[in-house]
Amino acid sequence: MNKDEIVSGFLLELRRGMVILCVLAKLQESTYGYNLIAELADTGIAIEANTLYPLLRRLESQGLLISTWNTEGAKPRKYYHATSLGVEVLSALKAHWQTMTANMNNLLED
Amino acid sequence: MSNEHDDLITRYIYAVTRYLPEKMRADVEKELDSLIADMLTERCGAITPTEKDIRVVLTELGTPEELAAKYSGDENGALISGGYFILYKRILRFLLPVITAVVAISGAISALVNTKPATNPLILAGQLFGQTIGGAIGGAFWAFAILTIIFAIMQRLHVGLTPQDDFFSRLRPVPQKRAEIKLIVPIVGMFWSAVLLIVFLGFPQIISVWLESGTWIPVFATSVIRSFWPLILLWAILGIAKQTVMLIEGQYSVRVALATLIANILILACTAVVFLSPAIMNPAFLSYLSKLLVGNGSAQLAAWAPHLGVGLFFIICFALVVDTVSTASRALRNKAA
């Protein structure tokens, strides 16, 4: 296994945990999956559809998100937004994230 | 979009959803339909997507199996993993060689015993080879399959392997180097118990003496030996149980010493009943032995010939005592250290 493969493997693990935080943060406002991918991409966070869609479904089954089919547009779209539990989980995760990044920055700067 | 392209998308979505639970299907179908349309719009804008565009978009989503795995949450699912896998591997490592060897040997014995005396040696060799190798492969396959199924079910049902709460009490002292029981010791022990069972219950007639006249005289009275089958079975089970304790403990501990003592006492009792039974030896063999000894000028020894069973009993008795004492002394030394 060469260096690039090792790096991309670790990167994948790092991202996996982060994605949930991204999704919960973004879904304070209601939107549909594909638009979420585009919005995240605009902020420099790349997430693939085949990862996001199953993730949205999993978060919904955990009660963190709620979805509704919107059939008013040209094609039906499934809109997601965070539930109150989702918001609570987000704020808890956010606090952990901030501590973690601060600690990590300290560690990495040494 | 032409129908043909639609068909490609429809078939892709069907290929994904057929792996999913029924209640999810309709929703995922609608969702993927909408997603693929969005992806195509992103890629082609107002232009009608070509088949190539569709193929690119679907490739981006991954193979139907990959996508279905992500949807069902079984992405990293494994039949046997974690703590179950560790134990599974450990059991498989000793079970497989024991079962393979035992089945191979019983195959070989059965080929030898069931062959008519006049059989062409080449055919006999073929049968021997076939039954031994075939038996070994079959035995290994079944052991592997059954153990795998048991562990897969255990993992599915989340059967607790060991109590989670208090593992401290289960932590064993690190054994002295000499007190460690190597994996091979119980494996060989179990193997011999199984061979003993197969020979005594299945084919006692193979323990026999060849006469120059071209006939075989079985040493034991076959039907009498067989009539003791519950005791012989118990004998083998006790042997295997003793080895199992050794396997689990992994060192000569007081528990191993106690298990050995109890098992050996019971084995001794079984041995006594079987070998002290007057009818156990084949009378034809005893009279042959007697004649042989008289012929050699050992008339005094010949008088003892009818008590051969008693002699065998004492030999086994001696072996059991040695085993018990050496196990106990190793355990005590380990404990003292």
pLDDT tens figures, B141-171: 999 999 999 999 998 888 876 666 677 777 7
Write down the pLDDT at residue A94.
94
Note whether A22 and A47 are within 8 A (CB): yes
Write down the pLDDT at residue A84.
96
pTM: 0.64
Res. B74: pLDDT tops 70:
no
How many Å lie between the alpha carbon of B32 and the closest alpha carbon of chain A? Answer: 9
Q: Flag whether residue B42 sits within 8 Å of chain A, measured between CB atoms.
A: yes
Average pLDDT along chain B: 85
Q: Flag whether residue A16 sits within 8 Å of chain B, measured between CB atoms.
A: no
Q: How many CB pairs under 8 A join A and B?
A: 41
For the stretch B307-326, pLDDT in tens is 888 999 999 999 999 999 99
Q: Flag whether residue A62 sits within 8 Å of chain B, measured between CB atoms.
A: no
Reported as a pLDDT band with limits 50, 70 and 90, residue B1 is: very low
Res. B286: pLDDT tops 90:
no
Whole-number Å distance between alpha carbons of A19 and B248: 44
Reported as a pLDDT band with limits 50, 70 and 90, residue A26 is: very high
Q: Do B30 and A69 touch (CB under 8 A)?
A: yes
Question: Left if phi > 0, otherwise alpha if psi is -120 to 50, otherwise beta: which for B262?
Answer: alpha
For the stretch B209-226, pLDDT in tens is 877 777 788 888 888 888
How large is the ipTM? Answer: 0.85
Q: Flag whether residue A17 sits within 8 Å of chain B, measured between CB atoms.
A: no
Write down the pLDDT at residue B288.
86
